[in-house]
């Protein structure tokens, strides 16, 4: 039987040439993304990103190829093709890495058709993975009974495609140094999105609202997400907040389709940044990590995403409890520093926004305090729209509690009984000013309930519950500080998901799974030491 090897004592030293090659590929991926997304190169040059991904698989070992993939997450563009308008390059890159691992580790020689092999693979999974397998079965069954099966199958394949990066991280990592490599790649990758967010934000200082909006929608976003979403962003997006009696307020959203996804990327990258900050003894590195944390916290504020702000209440409650119980003092101090900085940033927002407004041309950045206060204003346009869609969704769920609409078929909750998917998906819903395909329940749990029914929601909630419970137990019994930071981020996301379903955005989902894989590997290492 194939032996399990999680974090072997043996260390595999990477040569300088391999490290240089991984970094070089990341730089080239970024260069291609800039050239294509700004229109300097035709769209079909995005296929060169796939060639670069294939190069890493051929010339590097599976671990380095996977590092290159994680680093390149911000740069993968939509691959121009008539059939799949929004097919992102990362989806093919993940499959390449999987095939490279399969071939180079000679998996086909390890008794693929024997039960022992699959039992061993199952043992590699974390304790929470059996619940996502349960959810996958329910989602697959829902597809059989839904009206638009092809749409459901596409979403199922998308989720499986993303989950593959999680599985690859579990089976490829062989020692702690490689897991640290994952964490550093995670930080570099997500911080590239944060940095691009500041570039996007600063760019608006030198353009009118209208010209910035149209350029970003028709050029940048078209390259990243395809023509269909680009055409929608021309007239409807979440890039600006609307304040009663005032001009629209700019949000920070980087290369992502909306500010909600950007805020979640900022939340997710805090755990690896905190971990590396605590682990390093270098003063220069500590300054870099602190600066990264501060700029990330500011970016979450500048995203204007009230759900992310409100979701912070959940980790704050656990923070107070852990202080009271005297649990993990050092980790609490580091987390509280970022938390307090965020509060100060919001409190000082009138002054901050005054500085921004002195630079801006033709639009207003609003006021963070006013934006935060609007969380409780049920008459505010965004809140009214969210409540309206919750009413629509719950009414449908009460009539279809078992199977729901079917995975990926949320669109029919708005117009039950329709048989034409294209008309539903492309029709602009006047109540929400969006094509049907882009409307969600604005609540991750309601999304799951609507598409997979009560049993799908139960499996999904058990999945999240087991993840959070396992991290909480690890905080109480293990010495690895990673679990403290990741736990805070996880419960933050659990709280935020009450107000939006953005976790399913492709890049957000990838970062979530990367962080979860790191937890799973560390957990296995702790169990093996016990």
The shares of helix, strand and coil residues in the chain, as percent rounded to the nearest 5, are 70, 0, 25
As a whole number, mean pLDDT of residues 46-70 equals 94
Does residue 206 lie within any of the structural domains? no
Tell me how long the chain is. 530
CA dist 369 and 243 (Å) reads 11
Q: Tell me the mean pLDDT in the region 204-225.
A: 87
In a domain? residue 349: no
Work out the number of other CB atoms within 10 angstroms of the CB of residue 422: 10
List, for residues 226-262, the tens digit of each pLDDT value.
988 888 888 777 787 655 555 566 788 999 998 899 9
Q: What is the DSSP string of 314-354?
A: HHHHHHHHHHHTT--HHHHHHHHHHHHHHHHHHHTHHHHHH
159 versus 107: the higher-pLDDT residue is: 159
Domain assignment of residue 137, yes or no: no
Average pLDDT, the chain: 83
**Low-confidence winner among 279-288, 300-309, 463-472 (lowest mean pLDDT):** 300-309
Residues 330 and 155: their CA atoms lie apart, in Å, by 42
Produce one character per residue of 161-183: b if its CB has 16 or more CB atoms within 10 Å, e if not: bbbbbbbbbbbbbbbbebbbbbb
* Within a domain: 35: yes
Residue 367 included in any domain: no
- Does residue 47 lie in a domain region? yes
Tell me: pLDDT of 23 over 80: yes
> Considering the domain boundaries, does residue 390 fall inside one?
no
Judged by phi (left if over 0) then psi (alpha if -120 to 50, else beta), residue 499 lies in: alpha
Q: pLDDT exceeding 70 applies to what percent of the chain?
A: 82
Residue with tokens 């390149």: 72
Number of domains in the chain: 1
Alpha carbon distances (Å) from 95 to 45, 158, 169, 345, 507: 20, 12, 13, 42, 16
Q: List the single range of 59-73, 84-98, 308-322 with lowest mean pLDDT.
A: 308-322
Residue with more model confidence, 95 or 114: 95
Instruction: For residues 450 and 447, give the distance between their C-alpha atoms in angstroms, rounded to a whole number.
Output: 5
According to the model, what pLDDT value does residue 239 have?
80
Cα separation of 101 and 63, whole Å?
Answer: 8
Q: Is residue 52 part of a domain?
A: yes
At residue 266, φ and ψ (nearest 5 deg) are: -60, -40
Cα distances from 292 to residues 24, 68, 79, 190, 232, in angstroms, run 22, 21, 31, 11, 33
Q: What would the mean pLDDT of 474-491 be, rounded to a whole number? A: 90
CA angle 423, 389, 457 (to 5 degrees): 95
| Residue 378, pLDDT score | 44
Q: Which of 80-94, 242-256, 404-418 has the lowest mean pLDDT?
A: 242-256
Please tell me the predicted confidence (pLDDT) of residue 327: 77
Structural domain harbouring 57: 14-110
* Predicted local distance difference test score (pLDDT) of residue 446: 93
The answer to which of 226-235, 385-394, 473-482 has the lowest mean pLDDT is: 385-394
Task: Write out pLDDT tens, residues 353-382.
Answer: 555 555 554 444 455 545 544 444 445 556
In this prediction, residue 70 has a pLDDT band, given cuts at 50, 70 and 90, of very high
- C-alpha 221/C-alpha 262 separation (Å) is 14
Q: What is the rounded CA–CA span in Å between residue 303 and residue 300?
A: 5
* Cβ neighbours for 496, distance < 8 A, ≥ 6 positions apart: 264, 267, 307, 308, 310, 311, 502
Q: What is the mean pLDDT of residues 443-459?
A: 94
């Amino acid at each position: 039987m194939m032996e399990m090897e999680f974090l072997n004592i043996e260390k595999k030293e990477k040569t300088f040439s391999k490290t240089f090659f991984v970094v070089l590929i990341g730089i080239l991926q970024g260069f291609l993304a800039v050239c294509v997304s700004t229109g300097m190169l035709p769209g079909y040059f995005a296929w060169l990103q796939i060639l670069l991904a294939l190069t890493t698989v051929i010339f590097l070992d599976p671990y380095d190829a996977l590092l290159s993939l994680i680093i390149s997450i911000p740069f993968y563009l939509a691959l121009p093709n008539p059939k799949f308008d929004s097919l992102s390059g990362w989806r093919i890159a993940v499959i390449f890495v999987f095939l490279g691992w399969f071939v180079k580790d000679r998996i086909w020689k390890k008794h693929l058709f024997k039960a022992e092999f699959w039992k061993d693979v199952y043992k590699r999974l974390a304790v929470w993975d059996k619940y996502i397998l349960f959810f996958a079965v329910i989602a697959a069954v829902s597809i059989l009974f839904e009206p638009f099966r092809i749409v459901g199958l596409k979403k199922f394949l998308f989720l499986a495609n993303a989950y593959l990066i999680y599985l690859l991280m579990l089976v490829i990592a062989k020692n702690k140094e490689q897991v640290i490599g994952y964490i550093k790649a995670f930080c570099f990758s997500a911080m590239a999105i944060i940095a691009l967010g500041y570039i996007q934000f600063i760019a608006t200082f030198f353009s009118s609202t209208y010209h910035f909006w149209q350029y970003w929608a028709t050029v940048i976003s078209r390259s990243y997400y395809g023509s269909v979403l680009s055409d929608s962003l021309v007239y409807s997006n979440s890039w600006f907040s609307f304040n009663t009696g005032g001009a629209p307020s700019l949000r920070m959203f980087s290369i992502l389709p909306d500010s909600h996804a950007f805020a979640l990327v900022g939340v997710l990258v805090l755990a690896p940044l905190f971990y590396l900050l605590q682990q390093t003894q270098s003063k220069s590195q500590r300054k870099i990590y602190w600066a990264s944390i501060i700029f990330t916290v500011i970016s979450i504020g500048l995203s204007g995403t009230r759900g992310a702000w409100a979701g912070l209440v959940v980790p704050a409650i656990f923070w107070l409890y852990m202080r009271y119980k005297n649990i993990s003092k050092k980790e609490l101090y580091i987390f509280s520093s970022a938390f307090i900085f965020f509060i100060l940033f919001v409190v000082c927002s009138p002054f901050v926004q005054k500085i921004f407004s002195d630079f801006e041309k033709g639009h207003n950045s609003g006021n963070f305090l006013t934006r935060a206060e609007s969380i409780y204003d049920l008459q505010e346009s965004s809140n009214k729209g969210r409540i309206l869609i919750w009413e629509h969704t719950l009414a449908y769920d009460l009539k279809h509690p078992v199977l729901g609409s079917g995975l990926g078929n949320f669109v029919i909750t708005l117009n039950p009984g329709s048989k034409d998917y294209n008309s539903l998906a492309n029709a602009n819903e006047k109540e929400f000013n969006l094509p049907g395909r882009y409307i969600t329940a604005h609540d991750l749990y309601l999304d799951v309930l609507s598409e997979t029914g009560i049993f799908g929601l139960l499996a999904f909630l058990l999945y999240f519950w087991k993840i959070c419970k396992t991290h909480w137990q690890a905080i109480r019994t293990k010495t690895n500080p990673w679990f403290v930071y990741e736990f805070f981020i996880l419960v933050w996301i659990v709280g935020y998901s009450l107000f939006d379903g953005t976790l399913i955005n492709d890049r957000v989902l990838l970062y979530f799974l990367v962080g979860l894989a790191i937890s799973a590997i560390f957990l296995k290492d702790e169990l093996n030491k016990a």
